[in-house]
Structure 1
């Protein structure tokens, strides 16, 4: 197998795995969605222009990815929705956690995720 085709295959595989993990992250509160979508976009950009274009044309993900690629920021409404999802999902997880140390761990992770999202540059 040529080096180019091996590299392309690895990037494509990583991109599709990232998409699967991003989809799981929509449901699972501790699995982040956004970094996996960004990873998939990066992998597809280097391995499959068609897959990259499909991702950019996605009605929900496309505008967010374009904002990030072109301006290195996210829109304020996207950030506010992300805050709401973080608070709701971590609150539910903390409520359902059976042990106090798990509740504290979830609280710490939630605060870190919230802080990382807060620090991202935004545009109106």
Structure 2
């Protein structure tokens, strides 16, 4: 009954995650993880494709197996949050938005930075 809903959410999330690869302020990792979660409940084919994807598969497996985030992903995430916060000042965002960001972004960054790094990547030959 809910499989189509999970599939639609997964596809939208995957689209946002892919957009995040080229748009520096749109996070890729959370959207790809959400896609994997949704596809696991809706489409074995899409889930298998995502898990076997050269770029997204290792990220998902690292999270599923170790609840870990790679150091590069941590760096990109925190820098993106800092850029969004700075940009809010530049564009003159309302004070309520800046206050909300000042509370939420550091907490989010702390959660990201305190996750394990996971196992080291395999050596390249």
**TM-score normalised to structure 2 length:** 0.71
Q: Provide the aligned C-alpha RMSD in A.
A: 2.7
Structure 2 spans left out of the alignment, 5+ residues: 121-125
2:83 maps to what in 1? 88
Q: Please state how far the C-alpha of 1:28 moved relative to its aligned partner.
A: 8.8
Distance, in Å, in 2 between the alignment partners of 1:93 and 1:62 is 33
Distance, in Å, in 2 between the alignment partners of 1:100 and 1:120 is 31
Structure 1 spans left out of the alignment, 5+ residues: 1-5
- Secondary structure of the equivalent of 1:108? helix
Q: Please state how far the C-alpha of 1:105 moved relative to its aligned partner.
A: 2.6
Distance, in Å, in 1 between the alignment partners of 2:8 and 2:102 is 33
User: For each residue in 1:18-56, what CA deviation from the matched residue of structure 2 results, as whole angstroms up to 9, or x when unmatched?
Assistant: 224445667595x75533322210111222122112222
User: For each residue in 1:76-96, what CA deviation from the matched residue of structure 2 results, as whole angstroms up to 9, or x when unmatched?
Assistant: 222122222222232222332
**TM-score normalised to structure 1 length:** 0.71
2:14 maps to what in 1? 19
